[in-house]
Amino acid sequence: MVKSAPMRNHSIVIKPRRRFGARLALLVIFALAICLLLGFGLILPARLALAQENMLGLLHSGIADRVERTYVDACVRIEGDDDTYAVTRTVRTITFHDGTSLSVTFSSSPTPTIAQCSG
């Protein structure tokens, strides 16, 4: 049987226990940040795309050129309304320094316009 006896000229050091609360709080904050980013991806996809493009730029030696072109893709009429509505489309093409390119297309919801629709 082993007996323990206090040692002379040595003080007993009691280490404080580490708290798990700080780690849990950081984990919750990180999870909320991820959820917010995913939520903004559904609400504001153009904003999230810019962040994703820059992340891809890190993998492809940086972004060499970014061209954004917006045009009216369709002109529609809604039943019961005499106004015309335009659907715009934005095509963003990113060229990376390693020669690859990425093209992202965004379409808008119909908005009132003064454009003349044919047909």
| pLDDT tens digits along 17-75 | 766 677 888 888 988 887 776 666 556 666 657 777 888 888 888 889 989 898 888 88
Let me know if 107 is exposed, middle or buried by CB neighbors in 10 A (0-12, 13-18, 19+). exposed
* pLDDT over 80 at 102, yes or no: yes
Question: Which pLDDT band, with edges at 50, 70 and 90, does 83 fall under?
Answer: confident
The dihedral of CA 40, 45, 51, 52: what is its sign?
A: positive
Rounded to an integer, the average pLDDT of 91-119 is: 82
Q: Where are the domains of the chain?
A: 21-113
Degrees, nearest 5: CA angle 59-64-67: 115
Model pLDDT, residue 84: 81
Distance CA 54, CA 59 (A): 9
Q: Residue 99 above 80 pLDDT?
A: yes
